[in-house]
Amino acid sequence: MARVALVTGGTRGIGAAISKALKAAGYKVAANYGGNDAAAEKFKSETDIPVYKWDVSSFDACSEGIKKVEAELGPIDVLINNAGITRDTAFHKMSLEQWSAVINTNLGSLFNMTRPIIEGMRARKFGRIINISSINGQKGQFGQVNYSAAKAGDIGFTKALALETAKAGITVNVICPGYINTEMVQAVPKDVLEKSILPLIPVGRLGEPEEIARTVVFLAADEAGAITGSTLSVNGGQYMA
C-alpha cells in the first residue's frame, strides 16, 4: 500500500515541486497551504493532489488538519516541513510582530506539525521527517535575523529529534536550499540577480525546485533508513558547511 506524505506549503514553489515528485514516486500526497486559495485550487486541478488549508503557526490548527488528512488518506508516514515566510528588515528596525511571525511559522511549525504525528510513527516503527531550512540558516543573512534564527533552529531541531527517534525507525533530516528559481527569486531585479547573486554561486545558476524535490524523494524512501540527522546543502556550492 502506498505510503502517505504530507507537505506543508505544498501548493507553490519548492513545496509544489516536492508534492508532485512524491506523487510521481508513488506516494499518496496531501498538500497543506496557508492562504492563497486560487493558487491551491489551480494546483489541485492540475495535479489531482488533495489540498488542505490551515495555519502551521497554530498547534490546534495543525492537530485538526492532520486528523482530517489521516481520516481521508491514512496514517502519515512522511512529513515534509516546508512552509515558511519572510518579514525582512534590519534588526534595529524589526518589530515584535515581524520577529514572532517568522519564528512561529518557520520554526514553531516544526513542533506544531511533528508532535501530533510522531507517536503514530513510533507505534508503526517507521517515519520520515524532512525539514526545509535554508542556506541563510547556515551562514546568516543581512536583514534576516528572524529568518536566519528560525532556519538555524530547524537544523538543531532536526539533529536532536533524529537522536531520539533513530531506534524507532524514524529518520529526521534537513535540506538547506540556496537561491532557487521560484517566484520569490524571479521577483529580484535582473541586474541584481546577474551582478550580485549569480557570481556568488560556483555552478553559475539558480537551483531548480525539482532539484530540492528529488532530494526529498531520496530521503523519504524506505531504503534511506541509515540517513538521519543529516544536513543536505543544495546551493550550487555557494556555502560549503
Establish whether 27 is a catalytic residue.
no
CA distances to 47, 67, 83, 234 from 21, in Å: 11, 24, 17, 17
Can you tell me the distance from the alpha carbon of 230 to that of 141, in angstroms, rounded to the nearest whole number?
Answer: 22
Element spanning 195, H or E: none
Candidates 180, 179, 238, 174; CA nearest to 209 is 180
**Residues ≥6 apart with Cβ < 8 Å to 167:** none
Contact 161, 129 (CB under 8 A): yes
In this structure, are residues 152 and 199 in contact, taking their beta carbons and an 8 Å threshold?
no
Alpha-carbon separation of residue 129 from 12, 73, 106, 220, 221 (angstroms):
20, 18, 15, 8, 11
HSE-CB for 128 with a 13 A CA cutoff: 24
Measure the CA–CA gap between 155 and 229, rounded to whole angstroms: 9
User: CA 55, CA 203: separation in Å to the nearest integer?
Assistant: 36
Of 33, 52, 147, 179, the active-site residue reads 147
Is residue 173 classed as helix, strand or coil in its secondary structure? strand
Q: Which residues are catalytic?
A: 147
